[in-house]
Amino acid sequence: MRDQDRQAIREEIENLRNNGARRQELSLHACKRLFFDFEIKPSMAAVRELTQTGSASDIPKDIELFWQRIRATSKVRVGAGAIPPALEERAGELLGALFEEALALAGDALQAERTEFEAGRLNAEQATREAEARRSAADEMLQRSEARVEAAYERVRELESQLAAASAQGAAAYGTRDVLVQRLETENDALRKRVEAEQTTNAGLRDRIDALHEDMRKSTEHYAQQIKDALAEAERRVKPMLVELDSLRSMSSTWQAAQRDASKKEFDFIQQLATAKGRADRLDAVLRERSDEVDALTRQVTALRGQQGLDASVAALLCSLAGAGRLGETELASLGTSVDGHVALPARCPNCHEGEPELSKVDDGFEFTCPECEHTSGTGVSKFAAYARFMAGKHSHEQAS
């Protein structure tokens, strides 16, 4: 029941109270509005909330009086001697048959609702399995791509080792060394382009994974909403059936044995409904667990994005090369900010070996400085470029540019 409907009933009860109505009349009015206008079975808590009066013993009496009036209104009275005994017996058999038919229809409706719930659960599980399979395939493709990137970086390291060995041969093989250096640099550029292509492919795979995660989340939310709607529809259909059962119970008051049998079947029906609700609650718990798993995967993907897909070993190698002064301005500019997430603050200044360097953000760049000897890297467009200049011993902004 909506808040505005509840407020309207309270205003009606307040008007009755102002006109001198007693507690019993207020309770009966609340029961009528709840049962006939909103199909809600009156309870002590609901009536007490609307009337704001009455004790824990008075309100149940008022509700029982309401049900007695309903039964008295719906009961068909037949005068003594108006119907022959044989006809009365046939009428009783007819009422019993109607009661059994109503129970059978209620059981069929419950079975149909249970079948629909089971089909929704199976569809949700199938969609979850398909999404997990797609995610596993995407993860496998991402791992293969990262393996290719690692192999490319390994090839770069081998070429750099070969280049260092060629440089050690001396002036005697100077011409041959230049040719070899040029060839190795060409291969290095080709491998760098391949690495960039692999990184682009990795970015596409990550976008695909995000799309699969979003699709799985939408599917789980859709099936959860369908289950909730089905439960609400089942409860809406059961309420009129309960009212009809109560009316049939009142009409067949002379047949005590049939009434006990009906009470037992009604209890079984309610037990089956409770079992169906329990299954729906367990399915909701499974859906919440799947949602938590999706959130955990999303956080992992966000962490990988923060490192821009760069392997930690590759980043450590690049930082060691930058600290040794083996990367030029061209390489630093091509790397950009992709290594910034792996750059750590040096423990000691490379100039005085005593001061503890500090990192500061200046305008649109970064700068490493030593508070002891005032050694500085100058402003770099990235943290990695400023680190390379600082470790290489460049002292001023003019040298950095």
Binning the chain into helix, strand and coil, the percentages to the nearest 5 are: 75, 5, 20
pLDDT at 91: 64
Q: Kindly tell me if the per-residue pLDDT of 305 is higher than 70.
A: no
Reply yes or no on whether the pLDDT at 400 is more than 50. no
pLDDT at 350 over 60: yes
373 touches 305 (CB < 8 A): no
What does the block give as tokens for 208?
């695909």
Closest CA to 95 of 248, 242, 246, 244: 248
> Percent of the chain scored above 70 by pLDDT?
81
Q: Among 356, 365, 368, 361, which residue's Cα sits nearest to residue 394?
A: 368
Q: Are 38 and 5 in contact (CB under 8 A)?
A: yes
Banded model confidence at residue 274, pLDDT cuts 50, 70, 90:
confident
In angstroms, the CA 96 to CA 252 distance is 8
Count of beta carbons in the 10 Å neighbourhood of residue 227? 21
Give per-residue pLDDT as tens, 58-76.
Answer: 889 988 998 888 777 655 4
Mean pLDDT of the chain: 77
| pTM attached to this predicted model | 0.26
Asked if pLDDT for residue 344 goes beyond 60, the answer is: yes
pLDDT at residue 119 greater than cutoff 60 = yes
- The average pLDDT across 274-288 equals 82
Mean pLDDT for 180-193 is 82
Q: Supply the pLDDT for residue 398.
A: 36
* Structure tokens given for 257: 């044995």
pLDDT tens-digit readout, 140-176? 888 887 888 888 788 878 887 887 776 676 555 566 6
The residues near 398 (Cβ < 8 Å, ≥ 6 apart) are: 378
Higher pLDDT, 175 or 292: 292
pLDDT of amino acid 252: 64
What pLDDT, on a 0 to 100 scale, did the predictor assign at position 75?
A: 52
